[in-house]
Amino acid sequence: MCGIAGIVSISNRQAIDFETLKNMTGQIVHRGPDDEGYLLWDIPRKRVMSYCGQDSSAEVKEHMHECSGAGTAQLGFGFRRLPTVELHESGHQPMYDEKLELAIIFNGEIYNHMQLRAEL
């Protein structure tokens, strides 16, 4: 079980309120007490920032910064994680690939992941 929150500004000129996103994500902490992540997207500048949160592990915090504000982002996602199958920190979300300019945030499990991994 995990939790996802999102907020969007309908104007490219107005940034989202990060405190609102953080509060929304805090309201669903019971859905994922083990990790906290944020993705902020500045649409006009085509800039994406990915952050960890207070409840992220020390290992995640070594590679990511905690977010202090949305800056100029018009789109934001918050994520709370409760790992059941993949317990490693590599499951931190939201995930963002800078090269491909793709982001993903999801709630779910792939139960036959070992079989799929062997086939791939």
Q: Tell me the residue type at 69.
A: G
Residue with tokens 């952050």: 51
Instruction: Give the C-alpha separation, 67 to 71, whole Å.
Output: 10
The pair of three-digit structure tokens given for residue 37, joined into one six-digit string: 């992540």
* Residue from 2, 4, 40, 60 carrying the catalytic annotation: 2
- Tell me whether strands 75-81 and 35-42 are parallel, antiparallel or unpaired: antiparallel
Q: Is 67 a catalytic residue?
A: no
3-state secondary structure of 71: coil
Active site positions, annotated? 2
